[in-house]
Every structure is written in C-alpha cells, then in structure tokens.
Amino acid sequence: MRVFAAWPAPYYWRPGPARNLDPSDPMARTFVSRFRARSYELDALGHLNHAVFLNYFEHARFDALEKAGLPPSEFGRDGWVVYVVRVEMEYRREVRLGEKLEVRTEVEEIRNASMTIRQQAFTEGGPDAPAVEARVVAVWIGRDGRPARIPDHVRGGLGFEPRPRPGAGA
C-alpha cells in the first residue's frame, strides 16, 4: 500500500535571511516550549548531541498542537496521527550543559492533508540568531491510514482559515 502516491515533487529548503519566529508578533501564531540541556544528552565533545534536537522539536510540535486546542487524547479518540515525512535542520552553533533553550514553533503552510512547520531553538541570553533551525513537513493521517483533511478546528488553532471544501460555493 502506497500512502503518499500523489506526494508533490521534492523541494529543498535553504535557511537564509528569513525572519526569526517572534512570539510577540500578533500576526504570527508562534508557540513556545522550553528545555534545558541535560548531561545525558551531551556527546563526547561536551555539547548537546545533534539528534537531541529532533526530540526537542517533536515535543515542541505536540506542545503547539495542544496549545492550539488539540490535546494528545483527541488523537486516540478520533483515530488521527501525524506522520513526519521530511525534516531539514541547520545547526548553527553548539549548546552546552545547562543552557536553557526556547523552541519556537510556527506552522508556515497548511495544505489539505499536510503542513510545513518551522522551528527554531534559541539559547537564553544567547545571540538573537537561533542555534538550530528546522523545517518539518508532516502529513495528517485518518482512521483508515490514508492522508486526511486537516480538521478546521486544528487549522484555526494554528492560525489558518478553514479550507473551503471541494464543490462548496464559488
């Protein structure tokens, strides 16, 4: 069974001079999660292992969904899951033991069944530039195991208008 038979052609994200996600910007729906680098997350060089950011960012995405009105219990009840199908990360500087991180999460685009999420990790008291930046593409999966329309209440909670249904009004 091929789940993503009609997946669009791949694109390549190049982090550049894009704006930082700003939780105080009223036009953006930016969600904030906080973490602290712990000793068992360090690599042999004494800085936060690169793979740990995948865990932090996943946790922050679920925080964002919950703050947007979709608690984890609703997934099980309604049979929904969200599959991450693409992750691109740029590591810009190291994070050391005990440093506090603020992870900012914002959904940049929502399509019928997929969303593109931008995430940035900033160190407390550090430079204005993020230590790590990611773009994540996730697909909403329904009870039948196939891509499904992202529900309107989720779209609204993430800062997007409900998507018109096919054949509904002009």
| pTM of the entire predicted model | 0.79
Spatial distance between the Cα atoms of 82 and 140, rounded to a whole number of angstroms: 5
In the chain, domain spans: 30-152
Fold of 30-152: Thiol Ester Dehydrase; Chain A (3.10.129)
Spatial distance between the Cα atoms of 170 and 135, rounded to a whole number of angstroms: 33
pLDDT score recorded for residue 164: 65
pLDDT score recorded for residue 25: 57
Q: What is the pLDDT along the chain (170 residues), one digit of tens a residue?
A: 333 333 333 333 333 334 455 555 544 589 999 999 999 999 999 999 999 999 999 999 999 988 888 887 887 788 888 999 999 999 999 999 999 999 999 999 999 999 999 999 999 887 789 999 999 999 999 999 999 999 888 888 888 877 666 665 55
Sign of the dihedral through C-alpha 149, 13, 107, 76 = positive
Let me know the angle formed at the C-alpha of 105 by 159 and 67, rounded to the nearest 5 degrees.
60
pLDDT score recorded for residue 127: 76
- CA 85 distance to own-chain centroid: 12
Which residues fall within 8 angstroms of residue 13, CB to CB, at 6 or more apart? 88, 135
pLDDT score recorded for residue 55: 96
Identify the CA nearest to 102 among candidates 76, 125, 69, 72: 125
What single DSSP character describes residue 39? G
